[in-house]
Amino acid sequence: MRRKLAAGNWKMNGMQASLAELARLAQAHRDSAVEILICPPATLLQAATAYAPLTVGAQDCHMNASGAHTGDLSAAQIRDAGGRAVIVGHSERRADHHESSQMVRAKARAAQAEGLTAIVCMGESAAQREAQNTLDIIGGQLAGSIPDTATGENLVVAYEPIWAIGTGRVPTLAQIGEVHDFIRARLERRFGAGVGRSVRILYGGSVKPDNAAGIFTVSNVDGALVGGASLTAAAFSPIISALDAV
């Protein structure tokens, strides 16, 4: 059984006052069967660990364990601050920081070596979807970004079509299902049925309270990676409840 996961990516948003949102979420979902993971900015990571049952992750890590990398965080530092997971390969980092799948794979490996769960993101652009290249793109990102060290505990895959992130545009349920089934088949082919079936696959891209329930009915959708709607308990809570109800 794969435990459902609702992960919030706060991106470069959130101040100390935002921790009040975590208190509300923790109170509302204290008996939830869903794993609730918050990935706040690094400035709030340690403080965010005080809100059990919520777990906390980072939004990126460096591929090296330590050294002269100004502004970066290592997986060991994330772990030391109380983090349990880290997002790697988000499309904003692939674009803004020119991160290749090879770099993402090294980051995921570094995270797993420190006992963190790597949430490896991938997704096609609008032009790639229009050209009907979605599965080729996802297949290439899967092969390139996921290290051989993957297990059901240390890997989560997040399918996030770039054109759906922050836009309010969402693929059809059939389109989401096609990609998630494809990812599952590729994971099983590469890692065997045991590991391949135990890795959780999240959908991300404009998940909101009014579309979450439908998305969570799709096969091989084990939860969501949520950006904008994870910033307030008022918006994130109904998404978590919808996942809990599946």
Least separation in angstroms between CB 192 and ligand PEP: 29
Determine phi and psi for 122, rounding to 5 degrees.
-155, 155
Q: Which residues of 83-121 are buried (b: 16+ CB within 10 A; e: fewer)?
A: bbbbbbbbbbbbeeeebebebbbbbbbbbbebebbbbbb
Instruction: Please indicate whether residue 160 is annotated as part of the active site.
Output: yes
Closest CB to ligand PEP among 77 and 230? 230
Sole residue written with tokens 């975590």: 22
User: Cα(104)–Cα(57) distance, rounded to whole angstroms?
Assistant: 16
Instruction: Examine residue 160 and tell whether it contacts ligand PEP (CB under 6 A).
Output: yes
Instruction: Examine residue 157 and tell whether it contacts ligand PEP (CB under 6 A).
Output: no
Instruction: Examine residue 59 and tell whether it contacts ligand PEP (CB under 6 A).
Output: no
Instruction: Examine residue 166 and tell whether it contacts ligand PEP (CB under 6 A).
Output: yes
Instruction: Examine residue 225 and tell whether it contacts ligand PEP (CB under 6 A).
Output: yes
Under 8 Å between Cβ of 235 and 212 = no
Q: Which residues pair with 199 in a beta bridge?
A: none
Closest CB to ligand PEP among 64 and 175? 175
Closest CB to ligand PEP among 117 and 206? 206
Determine phi and psi for 235, rounding to 5 degrees.
-90, -35
Instruction: Examine residue 145 and tell whether it contacts ligand PEP (CB under 6 A).
Output: no
Which residue of the set 90, 99, 124, 180 is catalytic? 90
**Position among 141, 145, 206, 237 found at the interface with ligand PEP (CB under 6 A):** 206
Least separation in angstroms between CB 73 and ligand PEP: 18
Under 8 Å between Cβ of 106 and 60 = no
Q: For residue 141, give the nearest of 161, 127, 113 by alpha carbon.
A: 161
Instruction: Examine residue 227 and tell whether it contacts ligand PEP (CB under 6 A).
Output: yes
Instruction: Examine residue 6 and tell whether it contacts ligand PEP (CB under 6 A).
Output: no
Closest CB to ligand PEP among 134 and 196? 134
Instruction: Please indicate whether residue 180 is annotated as part of the active site.
Output: no
Under 8 Å between Cβ of 38 and 84 = no
Q: Are strands 55-58 and 5-9 parallel, antiparallel or unpaired?
A: unpaired
Instruction: Examine residue 177 and tell whether it contacts ligand PEP (CB under 6 A).
Output: no
Instruction: Examine residue 165 and tell whether it contacts ligand PEP (CB under 6 A).
Output: yes
Site of interaction with ligand PEP (CB under 6 A): 9, 160, 165-166, 204-207, 225-229
Q: Catalytic site residues?
A: 90, 160
